[in-house]
Structures are given as C-alpha cells and as structure tokens.
Structure 1
Amino acid sequence: MSAGARPRQSDEDQPQVPQVTIDALQRSLAGEHAALWAYKMALAFVPPDWAGRARSDIEAHTTLRGQITQTLSDLGQRPVSAQPAYAPPQPVVDAVSAGALLVSAETDTIAAWRSVAERSSSVPLREAALKAMVECTGRLAYWRGVTERSPVVPVFPGRG
C-alpha cells in the first residue's frame, strides 16, 4: 500500500493474494467509507474547537480509503462502494452523541485494520495495517477524551 510499490498489471504478474486477505481489505475499505460518513455527519454537531480535529481526521480517513482502493484495484479487485447512508449506533443530537459516533467509527476501523494484519502474510500490507491501527488509535483517544470516556485508550484497541 505504499506509493512506490505497485504490482504489475498483467494477469500473469498479479501477486497471489489469498481471498481472506482481499475480504479483509474490502471490510477495511467499507469501514473507511462508514467512518467518513460518520465524520461528515458529526461535523454538524461538534463545537468549533472539535471541528478542526474532525476535518483533519476526515483527511486521514480519505487518504486511507484511497490507499485501500488503489491496492484493491492493483490486485485486480473491484473495491466495495460506500453506502448512501449508515445507521449510527445511537441518535446523533448533540456534540457528545456526535463524539460517541466518532468513537464508534474509530473503534470499527481499528478492528477492520486488525483483521487485515491478521489475515495477510504480505509484510507491506501488515505494516500498512499496523500503521493505520496506530493512527486510528490516536484519533480514538482524542474522541474518547473529549467525550469523557475512560480509559482514553482502551486496552488492546481493535479487539472486540
């Protein structure tokens, strides 16, 4: 998933990636789509001092989504599409519930990235998944902190 390492495009030269890895990448992409939807919804409810962070997090998830999309395309796979809308775990009516939605979104993306790391033997994919998990955990810690959830960093992020 790095910009410099691109698989060749002929069918004979396609790297052999197990279906379980492809499925994990697709779930991770679906999670990134959902996270972006959640962040865009939350922007309508968060106070100005949280909004800058939310916009930065949107950029980060947009980058991850693009990387996964490119990786799947390079592997000859059709990336899953975003849904038109998602069902939040609870109604979003204020800043705290918007923050809770973002906690849920980050928790889900960490779990999806953990699945990629567990289901891939490719070192670059595992490294990318670990990097994404660390970055998502940082975002999760911020949103847990501003919504006064304890602990700010849960034990074993990404473990259900």
Structure 2
Amino acid sequence: MSEKRELEALQEALAAEHAAVYGYGVVGGRIREGRRSEAMAAYDSHRARRDALVRAVRGLGGTPVAAAAGYALPFPVPDSVAAVRLAAVLEDRVAGVYADVVRATEGERRGTAAEALREAAVRAVRWRGGSVAFPGLAERAGSASPHGVTPHSPTA
C-alpha cells in the first residue's frame, strides 16, 4: 500500500469526522428527547474517531486537515424528523470514507477502519430504520454517492 494513498484516505476520513461532529451538533439541537442520548453517543464516537485520526495523520508525517469554519447542510433541519434523516446521511458519508480507508490501508489500521465502517453502518440503520445492501459502498447500494454536510464557503 502507498503511504501517500493511506494518508489521503485518512485525511478524507478526518474531514468526514469533522463534518459529522458539526452535523451531530445540529442533530442534537433538533432531535426529540427520546433519541437525544443516541445522538450524544454518536457525537462522542465521532469526536473520538476524529481525535484518533488526527494522531494517525501526524504519525504518518502529515498535517491534519482542519475543521471548516462552517458547514452547509444537505437539506433544512427544522425538526426531529429532519434531524434523524440528517443523522442517517452523516453516517452514510462516514461509512463511505471508511470504506476508502479500508481499501487504502493494511493491518491494524485497516481493522480500525473496518470497525469504524461497521459502527457507522449500524448507526445509519438505527437512524434510518432499515439497512442498505453494501454500507459504505454507494455505487453498489444502487444509490447516488452519499452526501453529508459540506464545508461552507463564506463567499458561497
């Protein structure tokens, strides 16, 4: 495996985790009380994964990609129903980038990425209420590429 490819995949995963942390801030503010602890657990998990990725990128000699100042949501999130939908989208996005990390790594790092992909896929199922055939592989699931929150440009 190429160290450059591995570093690029880890940076993409880090960017997705930054977006997920931001997105779960929105989810937590809109989700109904009965699912708030589930959102908080996901938020904490994404923060922990983000921090581990920062260490991994530095360990490969890279400079970790920074979180954007703001992120554009893929759709308005005015209520709990939309918050649940956003949480599923966030998890789909994270699963997709971890699938790329699995392909770009070996050994322990590959195992860690596979575990992160599995966790994201399980959370997506819980949020969505159903599963997809190939979590993390949108092209095989028969859907468009998953979109999460994207960095928001101040000029956009």
User: What TM-score do you get using the length of structure 1 for normalisation?
Assistant: 0.83
| Number of the residue aligned with 2:86 | 101
**Displacement of 1:97:** 0.9
**Displacement of 1:49:** 0.6
| Number of the residue aligned with 1:35 | 20
The reply on whether 1:125 has 2:103 as its aligned counterpart is no
Q: Report the count of equivalent residues.
A: 138
| Number of the residue aligned with 1:62 | 47
Q: Percent identity?
A: 29
| Number of the residue aligned with 1:154 | 132
Unaligned runs of 5+ in 1: 1-15, 146-151
| Number of the residue aligned with 1:84 | 69
Deviations 1:19-71 (A, max 9, x none): 11110100000000000100011111100011010001111111111111111
In 1: Cα distance, 2:109 partner to 2:28 partner:
31
Deviations 1:115-140 (A, max 9, x none): 001112x2111101100011111111
| Number of the residue aligned with 1:75 | 60
**Displacement of 1:74:** 1.3
| Number of the residue aligned with 1:142 | 126
**Displacement of 1:17:** 5.2
The reply on whether 1:47 has 2:47 as its aligned counterpart is no
Structure 1 stretches of at least 4 aligned residues deviating more than 4 Å after TM superposition: none
In 2: Cα distance, 1:86 partner to 1:107 partner:
17
**Displacement of 1:104:** 0.8
Unaligned runs of 5+ in 2: 139-156
Deviations 1:95-126 (A, max 9, x none): 11111111111000000000001112x21111
| Secondary structure at the counterpart of residue 29 of structure 2 | coil
In 2: Cα distance, 1:158 partner to 1:56 partner:
21
| Number of the residue aligned with 2:151 | none
| Secondary structure at the counterpart of residue 112 of structure 1 | helix
| Secondary structure at the counterpart of residue 44 of structure 1 | helix
State the AA in 2 paired with 1:84.
A
| Secondary structure at the counterpart of residue 98 of structure 2 | helix
Q: Quick check: which has more Rg, 1 or 2?
A: 1
